[in-house]
């Protein structure tokens, strides 16, 4: 800039016809230089850098001035959220960067005289060799019951849980506080303190692309998932009275005779969420530790309540057990027909009136409360422990 001003001034000869030297005297080059901002902007990584880490590498700072604007964008124009410090000395991103992505940086700073300086730069983030994703439930666009958590199963064990959880944002309408809880290092569930309110709209932003979940292993998932909470249905099984009361939107709509776990194979107590619906399924005792005690190939109207094999299902072989005594190996049985053809039978009725995410509560069974991670059953953990 100094050289350019000197050239326009005609070298101080006074022979130029422009505005270079009206009085025929050369302009002082230091006066021109003083018009430049003294602010110095530093951007890391350096311009043109490649294979940049997705977290911790991007930094913008200013000396002899204060940052007033920092814009970091990907090729699609999406901006990276960040914040300028109170003293204007630095800008830091509030989130990680995506992998295999070119970013541009535009930064502006002002010195004490209000003069601005600007810097532009670009860089490309690394392409990971090892990646992970999260398999989630419920499905995008689904309608579910009031007990349904948002549950993620990661394909790799996570050793940086805070970074992963920070990359997942859940919003609801109407608003409600939602918190996450880790079960081991590969499962993360989210729920509110109490059952969802009927009609709640839930949106989940999975911004896992570029998150380093464990050393050298990066997320490759960027997805928005939405689901709706349907009507409220909570069914209470009394194993001592051999009944189940189906309560919908606060009113009991049906009382059904049931049979629960027999002595020695009692049903778990506690709150259980329906996680799977099967119109017909095979139940083999060998798969759940009961050897060859039973193998029923055509169990009708089965709804899963636990990972370990607890179901509430139709039962066509129970005889007079329903409403009278407990005869199962831990499941909750409802009278039904072989093939499930009778739509008025309790097993068929309950199946048709139950959705994924509905709650079944068991009480007065001679067994412990089901573990929160055995199925989608985190409601059996206090809110304080859940948040901790």
| Residues 376, 304, 147: CA angle, nearest 5 degrees | 40
Strand partners, 136: 152
- Active-site positions read 313, 331
Question: How far is the C-alpha of 241 from the C-alpha of 53, rounded, in Å?
Answer: 61
Question: How far is the C-alpha of 141 from the C-alpha of 132, rounded, in Å?
Answer: 23
* The token pair that represents 201 in the structure block: 């709209």
Element (H, E) at 108: strand 102-110
What would the DSSP string read from start to end of 279-330?
Answer: EEEEEEGGGGT-TTS-EEEEEEEEEE--TTS-EEEEESS-TT-TTT---BSS
* The token pair that represents 367 in the structure block: 């067994």
What would the DSSP string read from start to end of 189-227?
Answer: EEE-SSPPPTT-EEEEEEE-TT-EEETTEEE--EEEEEE
- Contacts of residue 157, defined as CB under 8 A and 6 or more positions apart, other chains included, come to 184, 185, 186, 214
- The burial class, CB within 10 Å (0-12 / 13-18 / 19+), for 191 is buried
What would the DSSP string read from start to end of 263-277?
Answer: TTSPPPBEEEE--EE
Query: What phi-psi label fits residue 88: left (phi over 0), alpha (psi between -120 and 50 degrees) or beta?
Result: left
């Amino acid at each position: 800039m100094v050289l350019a001003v000197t050239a326009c001034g005609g070298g101080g000869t006074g022979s130029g016809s422009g505005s270079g030297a009206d009085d025929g005297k050369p302009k002082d080059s230091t006066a021109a230089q003083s018009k430049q901002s003294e602010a110095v902007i530093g951007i890391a990584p350096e311009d043109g850098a490649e294979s940049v880490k997705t977290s911790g590498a991007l930094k913008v700072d200013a000396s002899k001035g204060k940052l007033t604007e920092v814009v970091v964008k990907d090729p699609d124009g999406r901006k990276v959220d960040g914040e300028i410090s109170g003293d204007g000395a630095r800008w830091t991103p509030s989130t990680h960067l995506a992998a295999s992505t070119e970013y541009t940086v535009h930064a502006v700073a002002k010195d004490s005289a209000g003069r601005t300086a600007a810097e532009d730069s670009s860089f490309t983030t690394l392409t990971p060799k090892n990646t992970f994703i999260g398999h989630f439930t419920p499905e995008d666009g689904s309608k579910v019951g009031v007990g349904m958590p948002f549950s993620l199963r990661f394909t790799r064990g996570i050793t940086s849980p805070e970074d992963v959880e920070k990359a997942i944002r859940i919003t609801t309408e109407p608003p409600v506080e939602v918190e996450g809880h880790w079960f081991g290092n590969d499962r993360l569930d989210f729920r509110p303190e109490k059952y969802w309110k009927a009609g709640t709209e839930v949106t989940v932003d999975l911004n896992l692309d570029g998150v380093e979940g464990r050393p050298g292993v990066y997320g490759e998932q960027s997805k928005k998932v939405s689901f709706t909470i349907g009507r409220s249905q909570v069914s209470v099984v009394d194993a001592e009275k051999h009944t189940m009361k189906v309560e919908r939107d606060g009113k009991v709509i049906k009382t059904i005779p049931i049979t629960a776990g027999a002595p020695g194979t009692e049903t778990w107590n506690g709150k259980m969420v329906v996680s799977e619906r099967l119109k017909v399924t095979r139940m083999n005792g060998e798969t759940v530790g009961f050897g060859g005690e039973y193998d029923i190939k055509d169990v009708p109207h089965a709804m899963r309540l636990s990972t370990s094999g607890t179901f509430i299902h139709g039962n066509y072989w129970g005889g007079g057990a329903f409403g009278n005594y407990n005869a199962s190996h831990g499941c909750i049985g409802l009278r039904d027909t072989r093939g499930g053809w009778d739509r008025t039978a309790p097993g068929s009725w309950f199946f048709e009136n139950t959705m994924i995410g509905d709650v079944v509560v068991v009480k007065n069974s001679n067994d412990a409360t089901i573990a929160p991670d055995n199925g989608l059953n985190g409601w059996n953990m206090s809110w304080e422990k859940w948040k901790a």
